[in-house]
Structure 1
Amino acid sequence: MNENITPYQSETATKKEQVASMFDNISKKYDFLNHFLSLGIDILWRKRAIRELKSIKPRVMLDVATGTGDFAFEAITILQPEKIIGVDISDGMLNVARKKIAERNLGGVFSVQMGDSEGLHFDNDHFDAITVAFGVRNYENLEKGLSDMFRVLKPGGKIVILEFSKPRAFPIKQAYNFYFKQILPHFGKLFSKDNSAYTYLPESVSAFPDGDAFVELMEKVGFKQTKEIRLTFGISTIYTGQK
């Protein structure tokens, strides 16, 4: 599922390797492009998603596909956990996150390390909450990634996943498709100097099993009390589940 959509269509590199290379390439421009291309709405989406965890007051958290750390920083502001660990497969993105952690003097709370969701180096039943923003569609094996996150979550713990989805209503669907397939790759290429990264983005969103299909997959690996919250006409969706 989704394994065939890759950034560079390489015959020799796995999807995971290609995604890591792509994010290394665009890491220095990633934050700027995220906010610019989403008109800043991605910041509001992150805040809304993190608020889904307020009721459980998590102390120890894991942020998967942490990238430059924006979702984790939002979690620190809103939830004030004792500890949050971010993992990512791109060292370039983690270097940006490390700089931001140092600038904000948050090293005592937030640390990052190389890793991916399909082989998390943590014990079973370890985290109160797990967050993922715009990362699950890049998983090489989505079911395996969800299973491993389920494994390291404590019983009663909660996962919050924020991911792009496909608007379904006219005329938003048509406008979104035009922007995503025509405008965004052009600007992405211009600013990031990576010809493939922002072509891969709409392709990966198109191929991602959003909505009910993703909720079913969450339930298949064991998550209970699942729900989806569609944001901004369905451009992105928050998915939550408990162990």
Structure 2
Amino acid sequence: MIDTSPQRKQHSSEQIFDQIAGRYDLLNQLLSGGIDRKWRNQFLKALPANQSELLALDLACGTADVPITLCRSPKIKHVTGIDLSKEMLKIGQTKVENLNLQQRITLQAGDGVTLDGLPDHHFDLVTISFGIRNFSSASQSLSSIHRVLKPGGQLLIMEFSLPENSLIRLPYLFYFRHLLPKLGNLLSGHGDAYTYLNQTVEGFPYGDDFLALMQQAGFAQLLATAQTFGIATLYCGRAV
């Protein structure tokens, strides 16, 4: 079994994503059935209605899909994306340059838990897409996010969750536990990466439990919205 303890989780995550970086985008589309794009679009729908010139920070940005998606909105002035995986960032930077978005997106290596080097009360928006469960401490990350957000700034997190309906939950868990690692190994040669995915998802708080972590970190106006029968959840909050 892969070690998913806090002291090993972040290092394991960096190694795994470096290994699968070259095929990550393709695998995401194939293994999610294309739903990953729909989930990212939820960030656009959740943007504040009466604000513009927004400075955004995307954590665990990977190959820059979320920063690129955010830049489809004229409300977004600039997105800073940070990730521990240098291989993922290399691919992301190529995508950004191919789309001529260098003036609106900056990618850099960084720790999503401590957010070292990022200024206090600077960002209007922070996003994380399927990344916070890989952090060594979700609670510490949420506190750091609160620090870098402006008062009233928005936090949007999309993360895997477990469906409440047993008719969906049981086949979902069978897919996650048994089929996904085999498919991941077949397509990427790194089945351990998808075993790790299963273990981090099943052990991570979701729903009201995750909202409680956000509240403890200083967020209010909390909302959790189930996506695709509950296999993912969009969490929203405001820094107060």
TM-score, reference length from structure 1? 0.93
Q: How large is the Cα RMSD of the aligned pairs? A: 1.6
Distance 1:79 1:108, change over 3 A: same
1:227 maps to amino acid? L
1:1-243 maps to which residues of 2 (within 5 A)?
8-9=2-3, 14-55=8-49, 56-57=51-52, 59-120=54-115, 121-243=117-239
Q: Quote how far apart the aligned CAs of 1:195 are.
A: 2.7
- Which stretches of structure 1, 4 residues or more, deviate above 6 A after TM superposition? none
Q: Is the 8 A contact 2:4 2:200 kept in 1?
A: no
Between 208-217 and 193-202, the greater mean CA deviation after superposition? 193-202
SS state at 1:23 partner: helix
8 Å CA contact retained: 2:82, 2:110: yes
- AA aligned to 1:118 is V
TM-score normalised per structure 2: 0.94
- SS of 1:77 mapped into structure 2: coil
Identity %: 38
Cα distance 1:106–1:144, how it changes in 2: closer, same or farther (>3 A)?
Answer: same
| Alpha-carbon offset, residue 8 of structure 1 | 4.1
Measure, in 2, the Cα distance between the counterparts of 1:232 and 1:57.
29
Q: Aligned to 1:82, what secondary structure does the other structure show?
A: strand
Whole-angstrom distance in 1 between the partners of 2:131 and 2:32: 16
Q: Counterparts of 1:95 and 1:141 in 2: how far apart (Å)?
A: 25
How far residue 57 of structure 1 moved from its aligned partner, in angstroms, is 3.4
Shift in alpha-carbon separation, 1:233–1:29, aligned structure 2, 3 A: same
Q: How many residues align?
A: 236
**8 Å Cα contact 1:146/1:221 also seen in 2:** yes
1:101, distance to aligned residue in structure 2 (A)? 0.6
